[in-house]
Amino acid sequence: MRTGKLKTNNGCLAWLFLGPSLLGFSLFYLLPFVTGFYYSLVDSPINGTFVGLHNYGALLKNPSFLSALANTAKFTLICVPLNMILSLGVALLLNQKIQGRNLFRTIMITPLVVPVASVVLVWQAFFDLNGVLNSLIHALGYPPVDWMKTNWSRMVVLVVYLWKNIGYSVILFLAGLQNIPAEYYEAARIDGAGRRQEFFRITLIYLTPTTFFVFVISIINSFKVFRETYLISGEYPHNSIYMLQHYMNNMFTALDYQKLTSAAFIMAAFIVAVVLLLFIVERKITNMIN
């Protein structure tokens, strides 16, 4: 009897402590999610009529949305592999016994603590029509380039993304590398394995969980680059960097909740599908290792 009462009391106490968090989650996350999904299924946010998936169908025929979707997909397909390759390479270098590696590690995480507004001011001063880079180009005798109004704008955003995210990925890869037992490499060298075999058969295999996590975080951060892009180039940037978030922000400004919520749920569904696929792949690789 006492055990039953104790379990009941512990259960009530647990719900008491969870109550504020559950209330906050329901109020600020669950309720907006349900409301947004409702708006995507009606033709008006006020006294709207249920139209099913009509808003989604209309959105998939919208040229602006399709352009934003294509640009977002291209940017993600370019920046995520680059971020992973560069960060893994830097992590491998910093994992060696080189002079000043602690200083380099500190420098790598500096972009994470710099406010976005400060980052934007620096990059604006660098890539502006009258900025530092164009001053150097002019000094060499070439005409200046309006970087944010040409196809170069995608490269500018890519540079900003890499500068902002490589440091975090490097720290994660370093943690993964330092968790690999040194005995594995010693045994491999005794068996005559070279550096290449060590990398592909030991390092990459045992970095699988870390690589998976970095991959997911890199994809999520690729969607967050909208902040820098918006602050650098405004609401209507060059066509090559017009992202899904630009489209949704413009629909919010126009109070077009149907297009806004439909676009948001399409993007969310895409992210969830990619992450689930990655979970399946990571689990299969982990099972093969074990």
3-state secondary structure 196-249: HHHHHHHHHHHCHHHHHHHHHHHHHHHHHCHHHHHHHHCCCCCHHHCCHHHHHH
Please identify which residue in the block is written with the tokens 């490097």: 170
Per-residue pLDDT at 29: 83
Rounded Cα–Cα distance for residues 286 and 277 (Å): 14
Question: What parts of the chain have a pLDDT lower than 50?
Answer: 1
Per-residue pLDDT at 1: 47
Per-residue pLDDT at 83: 93
Per-residue pLDDT at 242: 87
Name the residue type at position 45. Answer: P
Q: Which residues of 156-173 are buried (b: 16+ CB within 10 A; e: fewer)?
A: bbbebbbbbbbbbbbbbb
Point out which residues pair with 70 in neighbouring strands: none
Point out which residues pair with 42 in neighbouring strands: 50
Q: What structural domains does the chain harbor?
A: 1-39 (no CATH), 56-289 (1.10.3720.10)
Whole-model pTM above 0.95?
no
pLDDT digits (tens, 9 = 90+) for 215-246: 888 988 888 877 778 777 777 788 888 888 88
Per-residue pLDDT at 182: 83
Per-residue pLDDT at 81: 92
| Helices marked H in 114-207 | 116-127, 132-139, 152-178, 182-190, 195-198, 204-206
Per-residue pLDDT at 8: 62
